Each structure stands twice: as C-alpha cells, then as structure tokens.
Chains A and B, each alone.
Chain A
Amino acid sequence: MATPLKRTPLPAILIANDLRIGDVVFWSQSGWTRDPAAALVAHDQPAADALDAAATAGMARQEVVDAYLIDVDVREGVPVPRHFRERFKTLGPSVHPELGKQAQFAAYARAAAE
C-alpha cells in the first residue's frame, strides 16, 4: 500500500546540503543561499509545491543532496524552524558557537535563539 505523501505544515522553507561542500543551504529568490534569513518562505500550498519542485530539480542538477521542506515560524521577518533538530541544523553545533551559520549570520542566530 502506498503511503500518502506527508505534507509539511506551512509556512515552510526548503533546506538541503550542498553536494560539493556539505554546507546547509536554503532555496531563495535567487537560487541556493547559505543565509537562512534569505530562505524563500512558502505561505500557501502552491508556493510549497514550487519549493518541492526546486528540491527535485536541485538534486537532479547535482547541486544539493537531502533536500526537503521544513515548517517555520516567521520571527522578525526571519524564518526559524519550529523543530529543534532543524533549528540546530540552521545554526551549527551549539557547543561551538564560533562555527556554522550562527557565527556567520548573527541576526539570524539572534532571531532563532529567542
């Protein structure tokens, strides 16, 4: 029996790992970005379907791996993952604040920490 596809609750963003580097990337207005604050937020199903299509295309073009949608809260205009696992994935190791996106994107890290 085929399992029905579980839809990600909205709003959602598209997260993946860069194929060559492994770094966490997000789908934005202008393609893949390393900045979580620049992630394109889907507020309705057609927009989420477009993110799904971007995931499939990005993997087919060998740009990214492990691309999937995650649900977010928009805080101060910045999308922050609701689940702690994905939040850590967008920030970097909590035990090494000098590494990962938390070091590079301070404004995002502040929004995500609240």
Chain B
Amino acid sequence: MYRYDEFDERFVRERVAQFRDQVNRRLSGALTEEEFRPLRLQNGLYLQLHAYMLRIAIPYGVLSSQQLCQLAVIADKYDRGYGHFTTRTNLQFNWPKLKDAPDILDLLADVQMHCIQTSGNDIRNVTADQFAGVAGDEIEDPRPVAELIRQWSSLHPEFSFLPRKFKIAVIASQADRAVMKSHDVGIRIVRNKAGESGYEIFAGGGLGRTPMVGKRVREFLPKGQLLAYLEALLRVYNLEGRRDNKFKARIKILVHEIGIDAFRDRVEAEFARADAFSDDENAELARISAQFEVRNYEKLSARSETFEAARKSDPAFAEWVAHSLFAHKVDGYAAVTISLKPVGGVPGDMTSDQMRFFADLTDRFSLGELRVTHAQNLVLPNVKQDDLHALWRELGKAGLATPNVGLVTDIISCPGLDYCALATARSIPIAQAISNRFADKARQDEIGPLQIKISGCINACGHHHVGHIGILGLEKRGQESYQITLGGDPTENMAIGELLGPGLAAGDVPAAIERIVGVYLDKRADGETFIETVKRLGVSEFKAAFLAGAQNEAA
C-alpha cells in the first residue's frame, strides 16, 4: 500500500496540532459552536444522536494490519470496543468524546491515518475497486490514480468550498464493483484502439433524494491530463453548481439541468484553456506508484492440489469458497471476501477483538494488507490457494466465516436512527429481521445472488436506490415506515430501483421481501438470477404480489 513521504507525514501532524488547538479554544469558549462546527467536520467529527461520531478515512479502502490493530486500540481506549465500516469504505466510531478527539487523531497519525476529507463540501475520500491491484480483469492498478487525486485534492484552495460534497471513484475494469456511476465523477481506466491506457470519465451520478446514473463526459482522456481535466470539470461545477438550494447543489443537478452535451462543452472549453502539464502528471503518477510496495508473489501452480482436496473433503469449506473467492491476477493466489454480515448481526460492525484477530490473519495469510468494500465487507487480497482452508478455519474462530457474500443476508445498511442524527427511521433492525428470516443457508443458496440495501433516510447512505431490493426508512404519521423499491443495480449496468407501493410498518417488511422473492422463485428461467428475472419480467408481477400482501396486512 501507499507509504507516506515526509510531506504527507508533516501535513497530517500539522492538522492534528491545529485541531488540538481548535478543540481547546472550543472548550474554553473562545470559539462558539457555530464557529467550531466546520472545523470539527473538516476533521471527521460529527455530532450524532447519542454522542460524537468520528469518521476515519480509509483511502480507496486499503488498510494495513498495523492500521487495523491501531483502530482496535482506539476502539478499546476511546470508544466502546467496536467500529462500523461504511458504504464509503470508511470506519466510524460511535462514542468518542470531543475532549479525546485530538489524542485519537494523534494515534491515527502514528499509523498514517487521518479523518481529512470525510466531511464538508470538498472532494471526499476517493474510492476504488476493492480488488484493485490484484484483479485478473483490470487494465492496471487504479490505486495510484486514486492516490494522485487524493494528494491533489487535499486542501485544494479552489475546491475546498464547493457548492456541495464531491465524490470520486476510480476503477480499471469493465466490471464495476465500486458503484462508480453513482459518484459525482467516475473514472474508468481504459485502453484505446492503439492500446494506450487512459481514462473514461463519467459525471453527474449520485444517489440521495435525486438518484442519477453517471453520464459519460469523455470517452478517452490520455494519460497525463487527468488532473487538468478534473480541474476543468470541477471549475465548471464550482462556478455553476447551485448554491441557492442545498438539495439541488450536487453536480448531478447541474448536469441534469443543462444536459450532458452542454456540460461536456463547458468542461472541454475550460480544459482547452488549461496549461499542458502531461509530463509533470506522468512523473508524479510514477512517483506515487513507486510509493506502493512491490509484491513478490511466489511462483505457484494455477491449480492448488491442497485447496482442491480440502474443497472435496470439507463441504462447509466448499460452501464458503463458493461465495468468497475472486480470481487473482497471479496464479495460485485468490482474493477473499470476508463477510461482516453474520446472521442477525449489525452489518459492517467489527469488535476490537475481531480487529486484532483479523489483523493477525492479514499478516499470516495476505501479506499484511486488507481492503474494505462498499458493501461493508472486508477483503484479503493476497491469499495463497494452498492456505485457504487454514484461513477459513481461523476465520471461523472469530465468527468471520459466514458463507453469505452476495446472498440475501449480505445486506448493506446505514447506521440509521440507532445512531444518526439525520435518519428518519432505523435501518439496522430491518436488516437483522430480514437476515434472521432468511437465515436458512439452503434457502439462501436456492435464492442465489440478491442484494438488499437499506437506508434510514432519503440521503441514501445505504445505497437503497441500487439494491436489487431497496428499502428506505421514512417517518409516516409518527411511525417508522419503509418504502420498497425493486430492480436497482449497482454494477456497470447501474439502474435505479422502482417504487413498489406505499410504505410498510417495520414488522411487515420481511414478509414483503418473502413475497417478492416468491415471485422470482416461481418465474425464473433456468440459471437466471434475481436481478435478471426482474429485468426480463419488469416490476409489474412483483408489484402485484407486493400490493396483494400489503393489503392483507392492512386489512
């Protein structure tokens, strides 16, 4: 992973010292809450329902075992012994005290971590494919590009006070595993006909109260011109994005209102004025790439006899393998997804004991590096196939071997009204109820890949718009009420789900999911997944089943 140089180190340390001074001035009364709020938010410190919340940046989802250990230390010393991985691949602590926040930031700085760009109307933590650098299907590693953007955007004087927050994702394969098209800007590393690599640029994607699929701005941008292009694009947004209405201030509204062609024309006109600095950017990208360590993979056979034998002799292991492995670019290795969705558990939560245990496994089995996924799971990117059986046995000891990645119980859920001051309803208990309802593993396998995503308010941190089944918690007549959508898709075929009908009481949600799943099981063609059936049939039959049941419940 990326290692700090002296400038990175000094920058982060200075920020901690500044924040320590700001906290002291707040506690002494020299700063009012109004003055202090933007300062604490710039350091990832929010005020939630029950306590402050600290959001820690995990740039493009990459963590070292040492960093995970330090998060466990912070969880025990300054929090309540657990943390929560988010859909932005960050980590949140739910119980820090304001007076302790500077000490926590110092502990983070000790392991090259911080909370910068996890809040505010700036360019947020850049996300990437969780299999970046190891995926067999990628053109090149997208992490150095993500890091280039991170360094360029940190405290960027022109883009620190944008109309609204700004999210960028970088991927490097045809398959989109990072919901790239739901970002303000999505970047895909591609090759042109001449075989040169460059960037395909999307803009105007987003979820929230006005969900939009990102639209293509540039089919191919040569290497060396990315920052100039982003600068042009952000300048157009910064000047023309709507500051009159917070709900219309994201770039997606600008792109939608003027149209992608007009938007592209303005960006290209601005880009044409930019200084040519291709050589500089290429040199900088090369410097950053060199800060990522080179992995010395062993020369292994593509087929591991140890692995194949274990898979044959141990059905429980085979079951876990079926859902958890991703093809590694190097023969004899695998990238392994570890579910943070035990049946009935809190999606994305991890205890400090699990963190320490998992950090140890990361060292033993994955060259000391792990990843966080937007689906609130973890990845060990560099596991030898020979070691998979041993790894699985170890994971089981810490409750980390749930064989449900991508299945109906692998649910994305925002913190919702159990923690969040913005939430209109709870999310986690809904996830738990559905998870318990579908706990039977044979049934989960019968249903196959199905993504349920739950948000506790219209801001859509739980990605409900792109859930195959999406659930949105709202308030209706003084009660929590849940709207169900169908047909969302987070991949390269990104689609926004369609509302099935009126909101349901919390207790009626699992049965509604059953009815929807029932239509799929009844109508699916051979080998067809849930989302494929929905796309083939359209929503009407599902809607009828949903409404029929909803009426019975109301009666």
Please report A residues at the B interface, Cβ cutoff 8 Å: 17, 19-24, 59, 61-62, 65-66, 82-85, 88-89, 92-96, 99-100
- In the bound complex, do residue B428 and residue A95 qualify as a contact, i.e. CB atoms below 8 Å apart? yes
Q: Is B432 an interface residue (CB 8 A)?
A: yes
- In the bound complex, do residue B29 and residue A85 qualify as a contact, i.e. CB atoms below 8 Å apart? no
Q: Is B480 an interface residue (CB 8 A)?
A: yes
Also in contact, A21 and B98, with CB within 8 A (given A62-B27, A89-B50, A93-B419): yes
Also in contact, A88 and B98, with CB within 8 A (given A83-B478, A95-B432): no
- In the bound complex, do residue A24 and residue B50 qualify as a contact, i.e. CB atoms below 8 Å apart? yes
Also in contact, A59 and B33, with CB within 8 A (given A92-B50, A95-B418, A95-B432): yes
Smallest beta-carbon distance A94→chain B, Å: 6
Residues in B with CB closer than 8 Å to A17 are 47, 51
Bound together, the chains give a CA A62 to CA B35 distance in angstroms of: 13
- In the bound complex, do residue A22 and residue B429 qualify as a contact, i.e. CB atoms below 8 Å apart? no
Name A's interface SS: loop
Residues in B with CB closer than 8 Å to A62 are 26-29
- In the bound complex, do residue A100 and residue B97 qualify as a contact, i.e. CB atoms below 8 Å apart? no
Bound together, the chains give a CA A95 to CA B454 distance in angstroms of: 15
Residues in A with CB closer than 8 Å to B419 are 93
Q: Is B346 an interface residue (CB 8 A)?
A: yes
Q: List 11 A-B contacts (CB under 8 A).
A: A19-B98, A20-B97, A23-B50, A65-B47, A82-B478, A84-B417, A84-B479, A84-B480, A93-B428, A94-B429, A95-B432
A62 nearest in chain B by CB position: B29
Q: Is B323 an interface residue (CB 8 A)?
A: no
Convert B402-419 into 0s and 1s, putting 1 for each residue whose CB lies closer than 8 angstroms to a CB of A: 000000000000000111
Bound together, the chains give a CA A66 to CA B47 distance in angstroms of: 9
Bound together, the chains give a CA A85 to CA B97 distance in angstroms of: 22
- In the bound complex, do residue A94 and residue B98 qualify as a contact, i.e. CB atoms below 8 Å apart? no
Q: Which of B24-39 contact A (CB under 8 A)?
A: 26-29, 33
- In the bound complex, do residue A20 and residue B98 qualify as a contact, i.e. CB atoms below 8 Å apart? yes
Residues in A with CB closer than 8 Å to B346 are 95
Bound together, the chains give a CA A19 to CA B475 distance in angstroms of: 29
Going nearest first, the 4 A-B pairs with the smallest beta carbon separation are A22-B51, A22-B52, A93-B418, A62-B29
Residues in A with CB closer than 8 Å to B480 are 84
- In the bound complex, do residue A20 and residue B428 qualify as a contact, i.e. CB atoms below 8 Å apart? no
Residues in B with CB closer than 8 Å to A93 are 50, 94, 418-419, 428
Smallest beta-carbon distance A17→chain B, Å: 6
